[in-house]
Structure 1
Amino acid sequence: MVQSGKRVSISAFVITKNEEAKIGACLASLSFLDEIVVVDDFSTDSTPDICRSHGVTLHQHRFTGFKDQKSYAMSLVRNDWVLELDADERVSDQMRDAILALKEEDLGRYGCFEFKRKTRFWGKWIKHASLYPDYKPRLYCRVNGRWSDGNVHERFITQGATGKLAGEILHEQDLDLYTYFLRTARYSDLSAADYFARGRRTSWHHVTVRPVATFLTRYLIRLGFLEGVHGFVISAMGALGTFMKYMKLYEIQRKSRGGLGGQAG
């Protein structure tokens, strides 16, 4: 990338596992950058072969949590400025052009740039139900920040101002209902373990009021009903994920007390 007569190099990193259907499009959309590092959790499909065919730097590393995996991937890149992308995401043309148009003074003024993320679910781009604009800070200077606490819903917190750039991260979440449920269950497991480690505990309202509030927020307040059945499923799955997360946290609490029974809270 040439800016004001000087070349500013940007690396990208991606973590992945068994994403053969989507990783190729992700890596192709990153080809304009100077370096791509992929950290793979020992995929059993053709994900590693696809990565190698795109000429990226591929490492395999056992997954212990999203923050840990991303932190490891970021430690492997050569450049200070990095673009973080998930395996089921890709850079839109407008987003690519916005990154290429960055000037040296822009990089000096900001520590991070965020982009809208647009999700496709069941063949439809979703504009409501809390899934849009869904700003994500993904382009940042890795030497001026730190990872947030916890291994779920992690983000890199940078020093300095955050700018918004044009273009969208395109999120391909065309999951069938069973796979969507399994993903929701996996996130609830990780979230519950993370909450327990950080001292959080389940109370009665977490498993009663919060799931209902999640559904109503997504479906009514964030206009999920405008998406038809897509919005209903997204809202319902959000409520289910909230319920599962706090009930699993309650299970961990019980086990930590030697499996004794008791009321949530």
Structure 2
Amino acid sequence: MHKTTAISAVMITYNSERVLKEVLAALSWCDEIVVVDSGSTDRTIAIAESFGCRVMHRDFDGFGTQKGFAVRQAHNDWVFVVDCDEVVTPELRDEILARVGNEPGIAGYRVPISLVFLNQLMRYGGEYKMRHLRLFNRRQGTYNVSRVHEDVLLNGQVATLKHHCLHYSYASIHDYFEKFNRYTTAGAQDLAARGKQVSVAKIAFRMPFSFVREYIVKRNVLNGYPGFVWSLFSAMYPVVKYAKLREMNRPAPVLSKLPRVSEVETCS
């Protein structure tokens, strides 16, 4: 496929060796790959360097600011932001090469991304071909400064690609909850910074409604066992985030006013 427009692939990493070889191999058609690492202690940097990536370090202070920094390091105007666990399919590669630079007026493209969870492609529900603005002309926009669930702010027309990336986000359920804890904390911090409050009732009743929406309404039931687990965990996410927000908004306890050990009921 003939390419007419130079494209820089951009990613941020931290201990990302699990599928990094596959991710980088699928980006070999890009004019450069920029990797911004935040202190990996595994083989992430060695793998990136073996693929000829431009690797640099920056302490992590949030996904929006980290990706914004990475975008600014690119040599080309068109940047393709790929997470370190997303593999570009050959069909998506060919579509990008055919369209970028050949559609006047387009400043960016939404890229469909499909989750692979518990070794299964989630063909039903909201995680199949979820569209994210990942390919854009950096002269016309960049990322906001959100700690998590960051977005690209783009001044220009946006189109949507047809083919997708495969997102190998979680190595295991243990890995899921490590990320879950970090993301819910970051989400709660974003809400707290905006002065948001949450009631006990919202925390208590959010989970059953969220589960029904994910499992039944979004049809994750058709994904079998992985769909059930995904729906359950997804329903837990806002509950934990809001509980952390409530904890952040409450004043720190005064130790002198806490009950003494002798006053706390214990199980015999």
- The corresponding residue for 2:196 is 200
Query: Any runs of at least 4 consecutive aligned residues in structure 1 with deviations exceeding 3 A, and if so which?
Result: 258-261
User: Is residue 243 of structure 2 the alignment partner of residue 247 of structure 1?
Assistant: yes
What SS is found at the alignment partner of 1:129? coil
Distance (whole Å) between structure 1 residues aligned to residue 253 and residue 187 of structure 2: 20
1:166 to 162, 166, 183: 162
- Please report how far the alpha carbon of residue 258 of structure 1 lies from its aligned counterpart in structure 2 after TM superposition: 3.7
Distance (whole Å) between structure 2 residues aligned to residue 172 and residue 130 of structure 1: 16
Please identify the structure whose Cα radius of gyration is greater: 2
Asked if the contact 2:71/2:142 (under 8 Å) is kept, the reply is: no
- Please report how far the alpha carbon of residue 187 of structure 1 lies from its aligned counterpart in structure 2 after TM superposition: 0.5
User: Is residue 76 of structure 2 the alignment partner of residue 79 of structure 1?
Assistant: yes
1:232 to 205, 224, 228: 228
User: Is residue 153 of structure 2 the alignment partner of residue 143 of structure 1?
Assistant: no
Q: How many residues align?
A: 255
2:24 alignment partner AA: L
Asked if the contact 1:26/1:89 (under 8 Å) is kept, the reply is: yes
CA displacement 1:28-57 (0-9 Å, x = unmatched):
111101111001111110110000000000
- The corresponding residue for 2:262 is none
- The corresponding residue for 1:98 is 95
Identity of aligned residues (%): 33
Asked if the contact 2:88/2:166 (under 8 Å) is kept, the reply is: yes
Asked if the contact 2:65/2:145 (under 8 Å) is kept, the reply is: no
Asked if the contact 2:81/2:134 (under 8 Å) is kept, the reply is: yes
Asked if the contact 1:119/1:132 (under 8 Å) is kept, the reply is: yes
TM-score (norm 1): 0.91
- The corresponding residue for 1:155 is 151
- The corresponding residue for 2:14 is 17
User: Is residue 39 of structure 2 the alignment partner of residue 45 of structure 1?
Assistant: no
Q: 1:103 to 1:28 in 2, by over 3 A?
A: closer
After alignment, is 190-199 or 170-179 more displaced?
A: 170-179
User: Is residue 261 of structure 2 the alignment partner of residue 259 of structure 1?
Assistant: no
Asked if the contact 1:111/1:140 (under 8 Å) is kept, the reply is: yes
- Please report how far the alpha carbon of residue 145 of structure 1 lies from its aligned counterpart in structure 2 after TM superposition: 1.9
User: Which runs of 5 or more residues in structure 2 are unaligned?
Assistant: 258-268
- Please report how far the alpha carbon of residue 90 of structure 1 lies from its aligned counterpart in structure 2 after TM superposition: 1.3
TM-score (norm 2): 0.90
- Please report how far the alpha carbon of residue 2 of structure 1 lies from its aligned counterpart in structure 2 after TM superposition: 5.4
Distance (whole Å) between structure 2 residues aligned to residue 2 and residue 26 of structure 1: 22
Give the root-mean-square deviation of aligned CA atoms. Answer: 1.8
Distance (whole Å) between structure 2 residues aligned to residue 52 and residue 121 of structure 1: 28
What SS is found at the alignment partner of 1:220? helix
2:23 to 23, 26, 32: 26
1:62 to 46, 59, 64: 59
